[in-house]
Amino acid sequence: MTIAVEVPPVAAQLPADFLWGYATAAYQVEGSPEADGRGLSIWDTFSRDPRHTEDGKSGDIATDSYRRWEEDIALMKSYGVTAYRFSLSWSRIIPLGGKDDPINPAGIEFYRKFMKALIANGIEPMVTLFHWDLPQALQDKYTGFCSRQVVDDFVNYAKVCFDNFNDLVNLWITINEPNVYALMGHLVGTQAPGRSSNREISPEGDSATEPLIVGHNLLISHGAIAKLFREGGYNLPGKKLGIVINVNWGEPYDDTPESKEAAADFMSASSDWFAHPVYLGDYSERTKQVLGPNLPTFTPEEIELVKGSSDFFGLNHYTTYLIRRPTAEVSTTNMLGRFMKGVEVTVNYPDGTEIGPKAGLSWVRPVAWGFKKLLQYLYKTYGKDIYITENGVICPDENKTPLPEVLNDDYRIKYFRDYIDQIIALKDTVPVKGYIGWSFLDNFEWQEGYTARFGVTYIDYENDLKRIPKKSAYYMTEYMGKAIAKK
């Protein structure tokens, strides 16, 4: 089934080497969790408890992409993409995860075969080492990223990947959204490994300290991997390594000094927490003030290790929020509110109007002008080339809309267009090098299970996981084909 699309005339305003495509993560699409020697990850064990996902389902099957990868690559090729961002499963490569644990040859063979096929089809692999699925064995051994011991194991895993795949990969990403992993997994507790001080959520965890320790160990790990990449001879001409940070723009609720300060505090606690050490060295003074005395301290050697450790700014961005000072006492069970002291997030202006239209998830509102402000802020603050490594939306009631109506996702098309228009508007002042939409397929969307459909490809979960392109897939093929200059 092909859906007709009308794409207005588009000038080729993006450079010929501009990368575009879609993203996924290993646990969200691969399935086959114990096939060919793979070990279990924290997301295997976490999501198998039906209390942890909205529909009570796990990622055991996901979109079955471990077995259907050839079909997926053929579909991507038909979309005309030039890049595919995906992650490697640490436990598929080193089942027990540790530096002294055996490597799984079948895992190496699978990913080499997969990457070679991407390249043969004109698609550049954009490879993420860690997209939240830590081997369960390391979580059991020393509570994962709560322990500094994870750094050596992570660096060893990275070395195995560099040794086996660097000839096929030009763009490496060490960690996906360390801020989200630290907060959702160790503060709120609604994502793996599910630790929190809220005993209604988790039997163990300390929300006052663990997210900050985890964040620190993620930063040290990233810095150590960057050092290995550069000093180990892997940073050959044309190869880059960076980290991906989730950054949603915080717009002041109104023009008062209080709201402006609250918005600055929001940015410092949500994203500058990681960006400032990576690009400028150490935590910013505002981050130290907002996150408080439990924030670990970098040694001078650690600052040197982490500072300048990313060749680009990898940006995951979905929405913009209005920020003000709290209007009421923060509940003891509102872990995120207590973490970001003095910050309240809202989507309503003082006059009651909303910042953007409702989408299929409450936390995502299309606000393209906020994206523009964010790009300007990031380049002014950090001065790095930017790769958009995730950006996407769910249409209102998309999961409740039946076939074939669900395929007409004009809401998503408008979102993509509005956001890409901001990149084009800034093309002479902010160097954005690529745009990777989330997501290639509807997939296992973490705590939402299969209830959240971000894909440009519909997955028919009731009919053998059949892949059906949505209207947005056809539109983006035409639009990006016109917007990017020909080589």
Q: Which residues are catalytic?
A: 177, 390
Q: Is the distance from CB of 457 to CB of 467 less than 8 angstroms?
A: yes
- The whole-angstrom distance between residue 31's C-alpha and the CA centroid of its chain comes to 19
Query: Do 168 and 148 touch, CB atoms closer than 8 A?
Result: no
Q: Cα–chain-centroid distance for residue 46?
A: 19
Which residue, 423, 381, 299, is CA-closest to 20? Answer: 423
- Nearest CA-CA partner of 92 in 129, 47, 142: 129
Bridge partner residues of 125 (DSSP) = 84
Q: How far apart are CA 406 and CA 156, in angstroms?
A: 44
Cα three-residue angle 437-6-84, rounded to 5 degrees? 20
Structure tokens at 269: 């606690």
**And the tokens for 383?**
């001065």
CA dist., res. 310 & res. 13, Å (int): 27
Dihedrals φ, ψ of 463, to 5°? -140, 65
Whether 422 and 42 have beta carbons less than 8 Å apart is answered as no
CB atoms within 10 A of CB 369: 14
H/E segment holding residue 102: none
Sheet bearing 344-346, strands edge to edge: 249-252, 320-324, 344-346
Longest CA pairwise span in the chain (Å): 61
Other CB atoms within a 10 A radius of the CB of residue 72 amount to: 23
Sort 440 into a burial class: Cβ within 10 Å, 0-12 / 13-18 / 19+: buried
Q: What is the dihedral of CA 352, 369, 318, 391, to 10 degrees?
A: 150
485 is written with which tokens? 């200059």
Element (H, E) at 369: helix 368-382
β-bridge pairing 171-176 and 249-252: unpaired
Amino acid at 40: L
Distance CA 477, CA 192 (A): 35
